[in-house]
Amino acid sequence: MSTRRKAAFFNVNPAMIDRVWGLGRRERISELTDMYPHLVGRADFDTHAAAIADVECVFSTWGMWTPDEAQLARLPKLKVVFYAAGSVQAFARPFLSRGIAVMSAWHANAAPVAKYALAQIILSQKGYWRNTRDSGTPEGRAAGPFRGRGNFGATVAVLGAGAVGSRVIALLRPFNLNIVVFDPFLPDAKAAEWGVEKVSLADAFARADVVSNHLANLPQTVGMLHGEHFVAMPDHATFINTGRGATVNEPDLIAELSRRPTLTALLDVTDPEPPTPDSPLYALENVHLTSHIAGSLGDEVVRQADLAIEEFGRYDRGEPLKYGVTEKMLETMA
C-alpha cells in the first residue's frame, strides 16, 4: 500500500499548469506523491469531488480558483496548498480560515523582478534612456546627448522592502550607492544590518536620483504615490515601477512628466494594464512602457515549481514550511 501523500492539481487553465510545471516538474511531483490524474477546476469540481475526498495536498499556479465553503467541506483531509506563483490574495483566505496551510513561491518570482529593476537602475544613472533618444538623430547627437551622473555615490530609493525590494537592496550593494528605503514595516535593526537608511515617502522622492517602486498592492497603498511626490523629484530623476500600477496616482504622474521632460518614467505596470488607447503615456517621450515583463518569463517560471517541490519536501518530512503565508501576512503582501 502506498504511503505517498494524496495530491491533486487545481487550476482553471491547463496550459498554465503545463507552462509552470513543465520541463519535468509535473512528473517529478507526481513521483513524490500519489497524484490524482486529472486537473480539477471550479466548473468540474463536482465530477471529481468523490475521488479527491482524501486529497491532502493541492498544487497549482496562476489560474488557481477559490473553492466555496461547500466545496472545502468535501475536502476534509486537505492540509496544504502549494502555489507555484506569487500573490495568493485572490484565493488564500478561505483555506487559511479553515486551518489549511498555503505556500507561495513569491520568492522565486521575486528574483527576476529584482534583477530587472537592478538593470534599469544602473542604466538610469548613466542617463541611458534620454541618451538613446538624443542619440537617435544626427541633430540630437550633434547637440550633445544627455549623460547621467553615473552610479558612484548616487542615491537610490527603494519603496517596499519585501521579497522583491529586499533583493534589489542586496543586488545594489556592490555599486557604491546611497540606498534609502521607505517601508514602515522594516525594523530599524534590519535596516542597519543592510546598511540602508529608512526615510519617509516624501524624502524618498525628494532625495533620490532613482525611485524604484516595490510596494504591495493593498487597499491602503492604492494611489499612495501621487502628485506631491512626483513634483518633489529632482530634475533628471527616474521613477521605475515594477510593482503594481494601482499604487500610483497615474494622472498625477502624467501631469508631472508632461510638465518636466527632464524626468523619466520606466513603467512595467500601469493601472489599468495595459493603458487605455487614449492614455498620454503612449505619447510622452520621457515614458518607457513595457508589458509586465519584469517577472518570470519563459522557462524562468519553472523556478516557481521548483520552490513548491522543495516546500513539499519540507512538509513531507514534517518540517515547517519556509514560504508559508498567514492571514496577517496578507495585510502587507501584494
pLDDT per residue as tens digits for the range 79-132: 999 999 988 999 999 999 999 999 999 899 899 999 999 999 999 999 999 999
- Across the range 279-307, mean pLDDT stands at 96
Taking alpha carbons only, the member of 179, 110, 163 closest to residue 333 is: 163
Burial of residue 332, with CB atoms counted within 10 A of its CB: 0-12 exposed, 13-18 middle, 19 or more buried:
middle
Q: Cα–Cα distance between 124 and 44 in angstroms, integer?
A: 50
Farthest-apart Cα atoms in the chain, separation: 79
Statement: residue 166 has pLDDT above 70: yes
How far is residue 207's CA from residue 199's CA, in Å, rounded to a whole number?
10
Tracing cell 519536501 back to the chain, one arrives at: 313
C-alpha cell of residue 312: 513539499
Write down the domain spans for the chain.
6-108+298-331, 126-289
What is residue 333's predicted lDDT score, i.e. its pLDDT? 66
Q: Is the pLDDT of residue 244 over 80?
A: yes
Q: Are 128 and 151 in contact (CB under 8 A)?
A: no
pLDDT of 179 strictly over 60 = yes
> Which residues lie below 8 Å from residue 55, measured CB to CB, with a gap of 6+?
6, 7, 8, 36, 75, 77, 78
**pLDDT at residue 238 in the model:** 98
User: Which of the four pLDDT bands, split at 50, 70 and 90, describes residue 29?
Assistant: very high
pLDDT greater than 90 at residue 10: yes
Q: Which cell goes with 141?
A: 547627437
> Tell me, what DSSP letter sits at residue 254?
H
Kindly tell me if the per-residue pLDDT of 262 is higher than 60: yes
Same fold, 6-108+298-331 and 126-289: yes
pLDDT score of 109: 87
Mean of pLDDT values over 7-25 = 97
Distance in Å from the first CA to the final CA of the chain: 42
Predicted confidence band at 1 (pLDDT cuts at 50, 70, 90)?
very low
Under 8 Å between Cβ of 64 and 42:
no
Q: What cell does 125 get?
A: 544613472
- Are 287 and 265 in contact by the 8 Å Cβ rule? The answer is yes
Do the Cβ atoms of 307 and 84 come closer than 8 Å?
Answer: yes
Average pLDDT, the chain: 96
Domain 6-108+298-331, CATH among 3.40.50.720, 2.40.50.140, 3.60.10.10, 3.30.390.50: 3.40.50.720
With cut-offs at 50, 70 and 90, classify the pLDDT of residue 334: low
Find the helix packing angle between 106-125 and 163-172, rounded to 10°.
40
Cell of 113: 523582478
319 Cβ partners below 8 Å, 6+ apart?
A: none
Query: In the numeric block, which cell numbers belong to residue 21?
Result: 510545471
Question: In whole angstroms, what is the distance from residue 112 CA to residue 164 CA?
Answer: 9
The span from the CA of 332 to the CA of 65, in Å, is: 22
Return d(Cα 234, Cα 209) in angstroms, integer. Answer: 7
Residue 330 has pLDDT above 50, yes or no: yes
Q: Above 90 in pLDDT, residue 48?
A: yes
Report the topology of domain 126-289.
Rossmann fold (3.40.50)
Whether the pTM exceeds 0.75: the reply is yes
Question: Per the structure block, which three cell numbers stand in for 158?
Answer: 527603494
Q: With 60 as the cut, is the pLDDT of residue 30 above it?
A: yes
How far apart, in whole angstroms, are the C-alpha atoms of residue 89 and residue 83?
Answer: 12
Is pLDDT of 332 > 90? Answer: no
Specify the range with the lowest mean pLDDT, choosing from 2-6, 85-89, 199-203: 2-6
Q: How confident is the model at residue 310 (pLDDT cuts 50, 70, 90)?
A: very high
Strands 101-104 vs 155-159: parallel, antiparallel or unpaired: unpaired
